[in-house]
C-alpha cells in the first residue's frame, strides 16, 4: 500500500489499529516527513537500531500518525558513517528524539541544528553507544566530565534559577534552568535524562513475557498503557489475536488507570493553588480507587495485569458489582467537587490564563494527548481508530480551546466522567470466554503497538532475533512530545506558578529518560 | 465555602489505625542505634529522593499523605531540603546520572541521617539491575538502614518501614538530647 504518492511499499501489521511498516531510502525519508507535515500529521516516535550482527546495517525509524493510521518508515544507514536527514525542521519534537538516538546508537541527524547530548550526561563516554550490538553489556565507566551548554539569556536584570535534579517535593528528578526578570519567566530550559537506567539495553535478549514486565515499568503511572502497547506489538509479531473478553478487560484496566491518574492530579492541582481541601478529597477518592484495583485485579497500580496474549487474571465473585458501585460513587463525589472547583473564585483566579498553550502553538509543536486536547487538538485514538472494544463504546474525545491550566483541569474532569461511563458500559457488555491465548514469538519478526494512555499516545516497537528473543524494543511515552511544549507554556508566567503549570501537564521523567 | 464545609463535616475523620513497625526489614549490615532515635522521638522529617524509579513508588509515597494514612498526624512530614531532614526515603535503582546527586544529598543531611530504601529496585536493583547506566541498589551508593520490598510497596508497608526506622523510642525520658551530637555536615 502506498501513501502520499511516494511509491513506498507499506505493509499492514497484524494489529487492531491500522499500523503500516515500510522501508524507505534517504530521499523518501525526507519526502515522507514533508508530506506528513503538510497533511498535518504528527510525529509519534523516532528511534534507531543496529542490525550489523545479522548482516544488516544501522537503521533509523520514524512513526507518523495521520488519517490512514500509523506509518512506520524505516531507513537503513551506512555502516561506516550512519547519518540520516534531519526531521526537526518538519517536526520540532524530533529534536530530542534524534539526540537520544545518537547517544544510544551513534546515528546522526545530518544538518540538525542542535547536536548536544540528551540522554548521555557523564555516565558513559561519547564514543560508547550502548545499543550497538558490540557494546559490552558489562561495561562500566568512571564519571565523565559533564558540562552541558544551556542557552544563555542576557540583558539588564536577567538572572538564572537552577532547579534540580533533586526537587523539593515527592517528584522525579530533572533539571530546570529558569531565566527570569524579577518574578517573570523569560525562558525555561529543561535538561532531562537523569533517570536513564538503560531500559532499552535491558530488553535485548529477553523473552516476550519478561519484556512485558519491563515495559510495564517504563512509567509506573502508565503501566497499563505501556504494557498494552507492548503486548499489542508482541501479538502482532506472533500473528496472535486475543480473546474478546481479554480486550474488554484491557479497556477496563486502561480506563481505571486514566481515572486514577486524573483523580490524583486534580487533587494535586488544587493543592498547588493552595486549596488543600481538594487534595484531601481527591487523594481519598484515589486511595479507595486503588484499593478496589488491588481487590479486583491484584495490584494497586494494575502492574503486570496486561500480558502478551491477554490478561493475567479474570474478575471473580462480586468484583463487577463492586466496580460498578464504585463508578457511581466516584461520579457523585467528583460532580460535587467539580461544582466546588467551578464556584471557587480564588482557585479559578490561579488557573485561568495560567500556562497557556494556544491551539496554533500546540499544532506547530505537536502537543499530544490530554494536554493537546485541552489546546484544541482533537486527537484521541479511542475515537479516531476505535479498536476492540472501543469500536462498541463510541468514545467522545474531550476537548477545550483555551489551552491554560483551567482548560487542562476541565479536560481532566470531562475525561473522568467519560471514563466512568465507559467503565459502566464495559461491565454491562463484557463478553464471556477465555482471557488468554498463548503467544509464540516468531523469529526475525517486527511488531508495533499503539494505545491512548491517560497522558496521550503510547507506542511500542518490537523486533525479535533468530531465536525469537527480543532484539530491540522501543517504548515511547507521549512525555517526549510534551516536555518541550512545557518550556513554551511557562513563558511570561511567574516563577511561583511553575509547579501548577508543570502539574497540569504531569509529564513522566522515567518514560522519556528510559 | 458552604459546600466545602458541608463536605468536610459530612466526611468526618477517616484516618485508619497505625500499623505495626516492620522491624524485620532492618538492613542486615546496618542496625539502627537506639540513642540516635531517642533524639528524634517519633517526629520525623523526611526528604524523598527518587534516583531512577519508574515513578510507581512516588505514587504510593504520595498516598501516605492522604487522609486514610494521615502520616502528618503521626508527626511524620516530608520536607523540601535534605538539610531539614532526619531521614532519606530513596526510590529506584540509582541511575549513574543520579549517583552524585544522591551522594550530595546524603552529605547535606544532618546526622543521624537514617536511610530507608523503598521498593524492589532500591532494595536489590530490581528489573533494571546494574549496567552502564545503573548502579543497582541504593546500598551500592550510600548506607541503608531499612529496606521496604514490593513493586511498588503499598503505602501501609512504606509506613511500617518508616515506623521501624523510628521505633526504639525509650519509654523513660532520661535521655538527654544534648549528649548526642546532631551534627551538620
ipTM rounded to 2 decimals = 0.94
> For residue A91, what are the domain limits?
11-110
Instruction: Inspect the interface and report whether the beta carbons of A173 and B101 lie closer than 8 Å.
Output: yes
CA torsion angle for A283, A455, A482, A85 (degrees, to 10)? 160
Question: Residue A145: its pLDDT value, please?
Answer: 85
For residue A143 the three cell numbers come to 564519571
The verdict on A199 touching B (C-beta cutoff 8 Å) is yes
Q: How far is CA A100 from CA A48, A103, A129, A164, in A?
A: 9, 5, 11, 21
CA dist A308 and A259 (Å) reads: 24
Q: Residues in chain B with pLDDT < 70?
A: 26-42, 167-185
For residue A49, the cross-strand partners are A59
In B, minimum Cα distance to A301 occurs at B56
Q: pTM for this one?
A: 0.92
Query: Is residue A341 assigned to a domain?
Result: no
CA dist A446 and A444 (Å) reads: 7
Query: Is residue A227 assigned to a domain?
Result: no
In B, minimum Cα distance to A265 occurs at B59
The verdict on B84 touching A (C-beta cutoff 8 Å) is no
In B, minimum Cα distance to A512 occurs at B54
CA dist A306 and A194 (Å) reads: 28
| CATH number for the domain that contains residue A57 | 3.30.460.80
Query: Is residue A242 assigned to a domain?
Result: no
Residues of A in contact with B3 (CB under 8 A): 336, 339-340, 343
Residues of B in contact with A141 (CB under 8 A): 132
CA dist A158 and A181 (Å) reads: 5
DSSP-derived letter for residue A446 is E
- CB–CB of A323/A249 below 8 Å? no
CA dist A59 and A32 (Å) reads: 16
Residues of A in contact with B8 (CB under 8 A): 277
The string of pLDDT tens digits covering residues B43-57 is 789 999 999 999 999
Q: How far out from the chain centre does Cα B114 lie?
A: 8
**Interface subset of A 145-164, CB within 8 angstroms of B:** none
Query: Is residue A413 assigned to a domain?
Result: no
Residue A277: how many other CB atoms lie within 10 Å: 18
Query: Is residue A342 assigned to a domain?
Result: no
Q: Where are the alpha helices (DSSP H) in A158-222?
A: 199-203, 208-215
The residue of A117, A197, A475 whose CB has the most chain B CBs within 10 angstroms, and thus the best one to mutate to test that interface, is A197
Cross-chain CB nearest to A141 (options B57, B65, B132): B132
What DSSP assignment string belongs to A52-91? GGGT--EEEEEEEEETTEEEEEEEEE-SSS-EEE--TTT-
Query: Is residue A248 assigned to a domain?
Result: no
Instruction: Please tell me the total count of domains within chain A.
Output: 1
Question: Residue B177: its pLDDT value, please?
Answer: 36
> What SS3 class is residue A287?
helix
Residues of B in contact with A343 (CB under 8 A): 3
Instruction: Inspect the interface and report whether the beta carbons of A170 and B132 lie closer than 8 Å.
Output: no
Question: Residue A362: its pLDDT value, please?
Answer: 97
Q: What is the pLDDT along chain A (514 residues), one digit of tens a residue?
A: 888 888 899 999 999 999 999 999 999 999 999 999 999 999 999 999 999 988 889 999 999 999 999 999 999 998 888 999 999 999 999 999 999 999 999 999 999 999 999 999 989 999 999 999 999 888 999 888 888 999 999 899 999 999 989 988 899 999 999 999 999 999 999 999 999 999 999 999 999 999 999 999 999 999 999 999 999 999 999 999 999 999 999 999 999 999 999 999 999 999 999 999 999 999 999 999 999 999 999 999 999 999 999 999 999 889 999 999 999 999 999 999 999 999 999 999 999 999 999 999 999 999 999 999 999 999 999 999 999 999 999 999 999 999 999 999 999 999 999 999 999 999 999 999 999 999 999 999 999 999 999 999 999 999 999 999 999 999 999 999 999 999 999 999 999 999 999 999 999 999 999 9
Say how many CA atoms lie within 13 Å of B129 toward its Cβ: 12
Question: Is the peptide bond prior to B152 cis by the omega test (within 30 degrees of 0)?
Answer: yes
Question: Residue B33: its pLDDT value, please?
Answer: 46
Instruction: Inspect the interface and report whether the beta carbons of B62 and A170 lie closer than 8 Å.
Output: yes
The residue of B66, B91, B157 whose CB has the most chain A CBs within 10 angstroms, and thus the best one to mutate to test that interface, is B66
CA dist B66 and A359 (Å) reads: 36
Query: Is residue A267 assigned to a domain?
Result: no
CA dist A2 and A20 (Å) reads: 10
Domains of chain B by start residue, with CATH: 28-168 (3.40.50.12280)
- CB–CB of A495/A161 below 8 Å? yes
Å from B175 to nearest chain A CA? 33
The verdict on B50 touching A (C-beta cutoff 8 Å) is yes
The verdict on A332 touching B (C-beta cutoff 8 Å) is no
Question: Residue B171: its pLDDT value, please?
Answer: 39
Cross-chain CB nearest to B101 (options A137, A166, A201): A166
DSSP-derived letter for residue A388 is T
Query: Is residue A25 assigned to a domain?
Result: yes
- CB–CB of B113/A213 below 8 Å? no
The verdict on B167 touching A (C-beta cutoff 8 Å) is no
The verdict on A278 touching B (C-beta cutoff 8 Å) is no
Amino acid at each position: 500500500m502506498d501513501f502520499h504518492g511516494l511509491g513506498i511499499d507499506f505493509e499492514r501489521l497484524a494489529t487492531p489499529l491500522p499500523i503500516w511498516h515500510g522501508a524507505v531510502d534517504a530521499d523518501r525519508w525526507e519526502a515522507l516527513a514533508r508530506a506528513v507535515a503538510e497533511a498535518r500529521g504528527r510525529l509519534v516516535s523516532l528511534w534507531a537500531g543496529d542490525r550489523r550482527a545479522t548482516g544488516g546495517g544501522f537503521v533509523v525509524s520514524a512513526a507518523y500518525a495521520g488519517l490512514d493510521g500509523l506509518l512506520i518508515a524505516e531507513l537503513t544507514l551506512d555502516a561506516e558513517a550512519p547519518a540520516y536527514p534531519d526531521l526537526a525542521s518538519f517536526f520540532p519534537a524530533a529534536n530530542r528524539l534524534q539526540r537520544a538516538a545518537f547517544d544510544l546508537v551513534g546515528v546522526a541527524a545530518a544538518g540538525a541544528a542542535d547536536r548536544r547530548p540528551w540522554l548521555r550526561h557523564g555516565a558513559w563516554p561519547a564514543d560508547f553507544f550502548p545499543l550497538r550490538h558490540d557494546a559490552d553489556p558489562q561495561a562500566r565507566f568512571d564519571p565523565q566530565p559533564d558540562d552541558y551548554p544551556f542557552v544563555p539569556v542576557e540583558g539588564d536584570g536577567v538572572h538564572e534559577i537552577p532547579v534540580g535534579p533533586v526537587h523539593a517535593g515527592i517528584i522525579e528528578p530533572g533539571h530546570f534552568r529558569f531565566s527570569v526578570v524579577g518574578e517573570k519567566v523569560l525562558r525555561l530550559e529543561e535538561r532531562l535524562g537523569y533517570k536513564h537506567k538503560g531500559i532499552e539495553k535491558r530488553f535485548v535478549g529477553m523473552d516476550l513475557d519478561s519484556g512485558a514486565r519491563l515495559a510495564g515499568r517504563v512509567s509506573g503511572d502508565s503501566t497499563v498503557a505501556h504494557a498494552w502497547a507492548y503486548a499489542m506489538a508482541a501479538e502482532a509479531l506472533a500473528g496472535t489475536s486475543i480473546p474478546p473478553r481479554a480486550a474488554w478487560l484491557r479497556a477496563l484496566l486502561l480506563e481505571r488507570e486514566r481515572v486514577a491518574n486524573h483523580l490524583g492530579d486534580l487533587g494535586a492541582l488544587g493543592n498547588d493553588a493552595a486549596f488543600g481541601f481538594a487534595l484531601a478529597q481527591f487523594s481519598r477518592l484515589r486511595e479507595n480507587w486503588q484499593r478496589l484495583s488491588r481487590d479486583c485485579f491484584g495490584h494497586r497500580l494494575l502492574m503486570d495485569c496486561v500480558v502478551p496474549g491477554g490478561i493475567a487474571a479474570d474478575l471473580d465473585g462480586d468484583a463487577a458489582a463492586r466496580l460498578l458501585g464504585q463508578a457511581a460513587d466516584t461520579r457523585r463525589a467528583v460532580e460535587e467537587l467539580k461544582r466546588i472547583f467551578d464556584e471557587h473564585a480564588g482557585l479559578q483566579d490561579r488557573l485561568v490564563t495560567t500556562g497557556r498553550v494556544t491551539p496554533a502553538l500546540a499544532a506547530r509543536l505537536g502537543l499530544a494527548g490530554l494536554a493537546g486536547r485541552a489546546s484544541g487538538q482533537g486527537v484521541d485514538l479511542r475515537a479516531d481508530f476505535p479498536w476492540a472494544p472501543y469500536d462498541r463504546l463510541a468514545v467522545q474525545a474531550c476537548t477545550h480551546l483555551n489551552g491554560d491550566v483551567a482548560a487542562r483541569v476541565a479536560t481532566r474532569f470531562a475525561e473522568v466522567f467519560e471514563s466512568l461511563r465507559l467503565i459502566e458500559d464495559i461491565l454491562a457488555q463484557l463478553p464471556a470466554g477465555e482471557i488468554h491465548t498463548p503467544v509464540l514469538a516468531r523469529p526475525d519478526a517486527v511488531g508495533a503497538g499503539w494505545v491512548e494512555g491517560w497522558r496521550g499516545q503510547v507506542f511500542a516497537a518490537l523486533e525479535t532475533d533468530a531465536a525469537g528473543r527480543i532484539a530491540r524494543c522501543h517504548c515511547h511515552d507521549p512525555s517526549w512530545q510534551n516536555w518541550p511544549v512545557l518550556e513554551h507554556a511557562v513563558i511570561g508566567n511567574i516563577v511561583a506558578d511553575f509547579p501548577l503549570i508543570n502539574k497540569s501537564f504531569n509529564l513522566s521523567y522515567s518514560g522519556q529518560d528510559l | 465555602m458552604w459546600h466545602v464545609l458541608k463536605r468536610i463535616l459530612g466526611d468526618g475523620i477517616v484516618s485508619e489505625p497505625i500499623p505495626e513497625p516492620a522491624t524485620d526489614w532492618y538492613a542486615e549490615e546496618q542496625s539502627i542505634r537506639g540513642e540516635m532515635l531517642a533524639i528524634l522521638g517519633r517526629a520525623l522529617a523526611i526528604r524523598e529522593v527518587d534516583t531512577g524509579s519508574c515513578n510507581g513508588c512516588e505514587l504510593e509515597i504520595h498516598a501516605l499523605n492522604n487522609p486514610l494514612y494521615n502520616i502528618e498526624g503521626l508527626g511524620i512530614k516530608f520536607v523540601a531540603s535534605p538539610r531539614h531532614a532526619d531521614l532519606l526515603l530513596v526510590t529506584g535503582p540509582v541511575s549513574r546520572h543520579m549517583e552524585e546527586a544522591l551522594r550530595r544529598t546524603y552529605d547535606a543531611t544532618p546526622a543521624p541521617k537514617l536511610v530507608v530504601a523503598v521498593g524492589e529496585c532500591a532494595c536489590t536493583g530490581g528489573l533494571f539491575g546494574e549496567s552502564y547506566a545503573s548502579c543497582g541498589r541504593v546500598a551500592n551508593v550510600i548506607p541503608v538502614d531499612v529496606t521496604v520490598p514490593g513493586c511498588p510497596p503499598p503505602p501501609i508497608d512504606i509506613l511500617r518501614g518508616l515506623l521501624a526506622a523510628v521505633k526504639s523510642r525509650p519509654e523513660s525520658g532520661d535521655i538527654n538530647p544534648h549528649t548526642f551530637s546532631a551534627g551538620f555536615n
